[in-house]
Amino acid sequence: MPRSVDHGESIRLDNLDKYGHSGSPNGVMTAQGDSQTGIHKRSVYEHNGVAVCSQKRALFIATIVLSILFLVSLIIAYAGPQSDCPCAGEMPSNLDEEGGYSGTRNVIPIATNNEIFPWNSLRLPVFAKPSRYHINIHPNLTTLDVKGQVTIDFQVDKESTFIVLHSRNLTITDKMLTDRKTRLPITRLLEYPPAQQIYIEVKEKFRKKVNYTLVLRFTSRLSHELEGFYLSSYTTAEGEKRYLATTHFEPTYARTAFPCFDEPQFKARFKMSIFRDRFHISLFNMPIINTEDAGFYMGTGLLRDDFQESVEMSTYLVAFVVCDYKHISSQTAKGISVSVYAPPDLIPQARFALDTATSMMDHYEEFFGVDYPLPKQDLIAIPDFGVGAMENWGLITYRETSILYDANETSAAAHQWVAVVVAHELAHQWFGNLVTMRWWNDLWLNEGFASFLEYFGVDHVMPGWNMMEQFVLDKTQEGLSLDALTNSHPISVGVHDPTEIEAIFDTISYNKGAALLYMLEKFLGQDSLRSGLNDYLNTHKFGNADTKDLWAVLSKHANQSIQVKSIMDTWTRQMGFPLVSISKEGNTVSASQTRFLLTPNPQKQNLSHPPSPFNYKWYLPLSYFTDLNPEEEEIVWMNMTDVKFEVANDVEWLKANVNQSGFYRVTYDDEMWSAIIAAMRRNHTIFSPADRASLLDDAFTLCRAGLLNVTTALELSLYLLKERDYVPWATALQHFQAWSKYLAEAAPYRLFLQYMKHLLGPVAHSLGWEDTGTHLQKLMSSDILVSAVLRDVEEAVKDAKQHYKEWMTKNVRVPPNLREVVYSAGIKYGGVKEWQYCWAKYNTTRIPSERKLLLKVLSVASDPWILQRYLLATLDRDMVRPQDVKLVIANVASNPEGRLLAWRHLRAHWTALQGLFGNGTFTMGSLISSVTSHFATEYDYKEVSTFFRRLNVGSGVRALDQSLETIQLNIYWVRRNEEPLFQWLTNYLSR
């Protein structure tokens, strides 16, 4: 946010110079090549002085140390309760203080009072089960102090002298334990920060089936990071800064707000009491039932809100907010109250989300056949929010751009985004909240289902948007892209510590999970899927389930005619996917399956690494149609085998994986590729838009893998001169933009940009400058014209620059779906004055989607000086909110003029960025990917690997490995294709 909204236009680029030499603002230390962890390790292992002692003394000291170590090992082996560990997995010995892994030292678990911490597992013991929490909490939004008390009712399944629960960054000030009758003395309370656990020991054993109550008082501080219980702020239309306290607990941050059993299988009921000022309101998962004066001892002017007790739910779904928002409300057909909360002047932008949520709730209740179990559903806009939204049961939190929509100001793409995110989070109210995965290794059960149902739900509410056509573009293709790397992971993957858990909130869990469910729906049938989901939800409601529970129910509803578990295990328990190779001889078609892998050297690839329980074979529904009957879809099952089937003798070609509904790629023999390309260039409409997108996606990706000549992909792309549909063009543009990045330092670069201009010219001309048409036409118009402007298509650039000039000098309104085009032209082909005008608009607009768009287009400047100062602005949270930092850096990195600046910025300010986001969040991994994965030279690879080799990147480890693998792919792709690409482009463009 700007420091002064009223003077947004007075903010000068030159003001950013103050960060150029003295580090980041707000007292945040900038990086000098070391992470905080690296600095800490140096302080442990490096010393300025040199200690010298005699040989006898050294021998004596060594003997004493070895004796102590032996004694300690005996204590650990026999004294603690760890031999009774009923949970899976022990705490790795190399866990560091942040809950991550340290490869430099072994750790004996030592509590904060220097006693040995008796519990040695990252997982909590399962014999203690909470049934109810009562939380009292008072966040002071002035001092940022938090005072709280949690009362936990629990029982134990076996006799024990101890319980273990989670706590992180909380100071426990008082404790009490009772059996509902008498107070029981606590003999020890130990804290072990590396595992984020506390250990409570009693003299007499806890007895089975006895009701116990633990009361803990604690203090903490509101966090400035976007996790746990944290502080956020917004600026009113009058320029006044207002504060709110809000929560984000998924996956392991509830323990930072109150002591708890912070694992998803420990479901319990929650009661809440929140102390607040009179000018604030408070919100919780459940409705408020009583408000009264807090009493003199809490301070004057405070009120206490008491909330209705919740249903049984996991700790990560608890949410509470203290703010001064207003709201609008509606009701579902069954009388559930639905409300949207936002800052008062943004309430008019909340109407679309409210209407969509109300309709979607009715649709989901009818589709699942399971009633929504809470009395209300609140949706709230949070100014500072790390992810798109969070599905807290009954109180869903959203980033402002994910919930607020202005029909006169918001583009079709941003409009769709709001609908999709609302649908996603509401789907979670059943999948994730009502039925929750037992452990995070089955995260995909939550996120895959919600990512599938979001498109399914919006398609029902907005049938004209063709959402399932877009599903292929946004889910299937995204999932296929990442899952082709050797550093991918199975969709159901073992995770243990918070860092590992954060790392799997990725494209595999979300998009591959969704794509597999889409494929499942196609071969199972929607009726069987629907009845199975109804059974699954009713069987496991208010409880936990895992993947095999879902497969068992779906098999039952397919009348056991399809063994769902056997089929789907090959997709969830091994990473990757198959490449189906099609060849035809006479009337016999042969289809073989092998693992598809993007690898720098196709001749030396190891398709069996890492080992798979199914040896990288899949149960695969191969769908296809032929040129003789394009309307009739056939299916042949490949049961972890190759297959042969017959077609008519005069079939010229067949198109496999109809509408890209299966999660696999297809290649054809040379003769069939030629026939398909000829058919596409002759009359592309015999293929559906999704099939055309599928052919483009497969061809360009096979070329990237070295399995198809670059000239074949280019010959196919020539049909785009006649293409006028959104999904095929969006697919093509993704591949073209990737190629332009890889080729940035290669000989064919300029020729390839010229070829892109050649393809874009006709379609850009046909679209024109009227913001009209269907939803998909508006999406396409924006994408095509933006690409045309950035690739210097003269006609598009001329028109867009003129629109920008009229907007800047005469305040002529630009239609929402043309704004990215117009703003991009003004910034790219303008100078400081044009950039400054957009920066001022960013600081003054009250439309969240407009702010996001302006942040994006500000990064397309051609002047490196401007881009450098823009990057420096990300170090000041008053200029660029922390949640938007990645957006800015990633877009500067995608700008040819800014890619090296972004990489330098990431290195120079790594420590500041790490402090901003924390090592445990997936933001750091996505930053690494967005800044480095387009590099394509050996020098760049060496620079990236050398820089990160000595840093602890936390949950970004997998993203770093994937980025390094991608850089190697880029290097080999350019090396392999530079010459033939140059020759083909030279020949074609000289015609």
AA letter at 360: M
424 annotated ligand binder: yes
Cα angle 141, 293, 320 (rounded to 5 degrees) comes to 45
Q: What are phi and psi of 2, to 5 degrees?
A: -70, 155
What is the set of active-site residues? 425
Strand partners, 402: none
Q: Would you call 323 helix, strand, or coil by DSSP?
A: strand
The position carrying tokens 């085998």 is: 641
Contact 843, 5 (CB under 8 A): yes
Q: 508: which 2 tokens?
A: 């595999």
Q: How many angstroms separate the CA atoms of 411 and 854, rounded?
A: 13
Q: What are phi and psi of 212, to 5 degrees?
A: -115, 155
The position carrying tokens 């190697």 is: 968
Q: Where are the alpha helices (DSSP H) in 791-847?
A: 794-810, 819-828, 832-844
Contact 111, 199 (CB under 8 A): yes
**Cα→Cα distances 298→147, 276, 303, Å:** 11, 10, 9
Q: 776: which 2 tokens?
A: 């998909």
Which is nearest to 152 in space by CA: 218, 91, 81, 204? 218
Number of alpha helices (DSSP H) and beta strands (DSSP E) in the chain? 30, 29
**Hey, how many other C-beta atoms are within 10 angstroms of the C-beta on 408?**
8
Strands 395-399 and 376-382: parallel
Strands 543-545 and 395-399: unpaired
What lies within 8 Å, CB to CB, of 824 at 6+ separation is 786, 789, 790, 800, 857, 860
Contact 942, 964 (CB under 8 A): no
**Hey, how many other C-beta atoms are within 10 angstroms of the C-beta on 946?**
9
224 annotated ligand binder: no
The position carrying tokens 């295990």 is: 569
Strand partners, 269: 132
**Hey, how many other C-beta atoms are within 10 angstroms of the C-beta on 516?**
23
- Residue burial 75-110, b: 16+ Cβ < 10 Å; e: rest: eeeeebbbeebebeeebeeebbebbbbbeeeeeebe
Q: Would you call 833 helix, strand, or coil by DSSP?
A: helix
428 annotated ligand binder: yes
Burial of 48 (0-12, 13-18, 19+ CB in 10 A): exposed
**In sequence order, what DSSP letters do the residues of 383-448 get, joined into one string?**
SS-SSSEE--TTEEEEEGGGT---TTT--HHHHHHHHHHHHHHHHHTTBTTTEEESSGGGHHHHHH
Q: 678: which 2 tokens?
A: 């000829």
Q: How many angstroms separate the CA atoms of 531 and 959, rounded?
A: 38
Q: How many angstroms separate the CA atoms of 5 and 21, rounded?
A: 27
Strands 320-323 and 281-284: antiparallel
**In sequence order, what DSSP letters do the residues of 903-944 get, joined into one string?**
HHHHHHTHHHHHHHH-TTSTHHHHHHHHHHTT--SHHHHHHH
User: In angstroms, how far is CA 457 from the centroid of its own chain?
Assistant: 20
Q: How many angstroms separate the CA atoms of 810 and 144, rounded?
A: 46
Classify the C-alpha dihedral 569-572-576-578 as positive or negative: positive
Q: How many angstroms separate the CA atoms of 864 and 901, rounded?
A: 8
Annotated binding-site residues for Zn(2+) read 424, 428, 447
